[in-house]
Amino acid sequence: MQPSFFDPAGWGPGAARILGALEPSLGDGDFDVLALALLRQQAETNGPYQQLLKAMDFNPSAATRWSEFPAMPASSFKDVSVCAFPEGEAVAVFETSGTTSGRPGRHFFRSLAYYEKALETAWRQFLPDLSGHHWVSLIPPAGAKKTSSLSHMISRLSGRVAGGKTVWCCDGDYRMDMDLFRRSLDKTDGPVLVLGTSFALAQAAESGAAVGLPDGSVIFDTGGYKGRHREIPKDEFLSLLGGTFGVPASGIWNEYGMTEWSSQGYARGDTGLHRFPTWMRIVLRDLESGEEVAPGKPGLVEAYDLANVGSVMAVGTLDLARWEPGGLRILGRLTAADARGCSLPYE
């Protein structure tokens, strides 16, 4: 018997089509068809998503467009197993970093094929060719931090793009080896790629004297301070990195992604505008009404990520952003107070 396009008990031919669709050449029409089919499938097979849609009186079969489907809050990944397959069949689980609420969000994967193809394809599409650079990472390798999607991402890229010759300067407990880091930068002749979270990069920049990296060097910033450092305004951050490492803003790339997504957006420092792969759509929702906002107006980011095959394609965030000509500008984040009361920061 021919399995349905998305076989709820397995993957069916639809899954193969999605894997093949994770290409820069994916057209809008194909995205629309696949996205609608995948969301309808997830509305049947993903229990928490099904509950959400039912509570919202949303009828998946009546929807004519993917953007009509409500997004699952990213915070739901902390509460429930957002799985479109039996949880026990997961081959990997990526976890968000702990918060004050003490429970990480968990993203279950039945296959990492989609995540990895999305990652590599978008990297090659948006970033310059970094295969000849000397990679130095302030992010732990996947072997040291198995539940980190970021570690998996960088390790995978290291193997596939840089031939696995990355120098790892951070362990699984996020302890950085600054001596190794500095030595690695000092001894290289060719261009360097420094990878790190914003926190790690800022700490590295502030930890010692300036080291002018060779021309063509690139810094890859994955964002995030994890509550361990006062957040530095973007301009100051770029100046700090530029002043310490001698890399201009045009050589500093920012990745916008999250554990609950399988795909990422990328921005070059001199524009600060993120661009996204063809298999991912970002919809901005008005804070007041929840309706989609027009370009130029700020709204909350909702991602419709075709590579999120095994969980839920539509994931909402509390990130505030605005579409500008050339890409998405991230403006900040709404903070749902983990504890009420005297909890707001002083400036």
Partner 1 sequence: MSSHIPTPTLERIREVSAAFAGRPGTGIRGPEDFIGLLRMELGHEEALDRPVKMAGAWQRAAAPGLTYHICASNLAVSAETALALGLVLGGELVFKLPSSGLENFVELVESLPPSLRGTVRLLATHDPEIMARAGAVVVFGGGETVAAVRGEVRWDQRFMAYGPKISLGWVLPGTATADWALAAAGEIRAFGQRGCLSPQSYLCADRAEAELFGGLLAAALSGTKLVDGLGVSAEERALVREARKRAQARGDAVLESVGGPDWTVVIRNEARIEAGPGCGFVEILSSQAPGVLDGWRGLVSSVSITADVVPGDLMELFSSHGISRVCRTGELQNPPLLWRHDGQPRLAPLVRWIACDPGMEVE
CB of 76 to partner 1, least distance (A): 4
Q: Which two three-digit tokens encode residue 321? A: 């952003």
**Interacting residue with partner 1 among 65, 165, 226, 230 (CB under 8 A):** 230
Task: Among 33, 37, 80, 249, indicate the residue that binds partner 1 (CB under 8 A).
Answer: 80
Figure out which of the listed residues 76, 217, 244, 278 binds partner 1, where binding follows CB under 8 A. 76
| Residue 339 near partner 1 by CB under 8 A | yes
Q: Which is nearer to partner 1, 88 or 341 (CB)?
A: 341
User: Counting contacts by CB under 8 A, is residue 341 touching partner 1?
Assistant: yes
Distance between CA 297 and CA 286 in Å, rounded? 8
Please enumerate in sequence order all residues whose Cβ is within 8 A of that of 187, keeping only pairs 6 or more positions apart, or say none.
Answer: none
CA diameter of the chain: 67
Helix axes 198-206, 234-245, angle to 10 degrees: 50
Choose the stretch contacting partner 1; rule: CB under 8 A; options: 43-51, 61-69, 113-121, 123-131: 43-51
One residue of 14, 73, 140, 277 binding partner 1 per CB under 8 A: 73
Please give the Cα distance from 152 to 35 (Å, whole number).
26
Question: In terms of Cα–Cα distance, which of 62, 67, 58 is closest to 35?
Answer: 67
By CB under 8 A, name the one of 300, 306, 307, 309 that touches partner 1. 300
Q: Does position 165 bind partner 1 by CB under 8 A?
A: no
- Which of residues 74 and 122 has its CB atom nearest to partner 1 in the complex? 74
- Judged by CB under 8 A, the chain residues 307 through 326 that form the site for partner 1 are 316, 318
Should residue 102 be labelled a site residue for partner 1 when binding is judged by CB under 8 A? Answer: yes
Q: Which of 27, 79, 159, 208 forms a contact with partner 1 (CB under 8 A)?
A: 79
Q: Which of 1, 2, 56, 186 binds partner 1 (CB under 8 A)?
A: 56
C-alpha to C-alpha distance for 257 and 3, rounded to whole angstroms: 33
CB-nearer residue toward partner 1: 129 or 288: 288
> Which segment (154-162, 171-179, 284-292, 321-329) binds partner 1 by CB under 8 A?
284-292
CA 64, CA 179: separation in Å to the nearest integer?
57
Query: What is the distance between the alpha carbons of residues 204 and 196, in angstroms, rounded to a whole number?
Result: 9
Is residue 187 involved in binding partner 1 (CB under 8 A)? Answer: no
* Strand residue runs (E) in the chain: 72-73, 92-95, 106-109, 134-137, 167-168, 192-196, 218-221, 252-256, 265-268, 280-285, 298-305, 314-324, 327-333
Least distance (Å) between residue 276 CB and partner 1: 22
Q: Where are the alpha helices (DSSP H) in the chain?
A: 12-21, 28-45, 47-55, 76-79, 113-126, 149-161, 178-186, 198-206, 234-245
Q: Which residues bind partner 1 (CB under 8 A)?
A: 48-49, 51-52, 55-56, 70, 72-73, 75-76, 79-80, 82, 101-102, 227, 230, 285-288, 290, 300, 316, 318, 334, 336-347
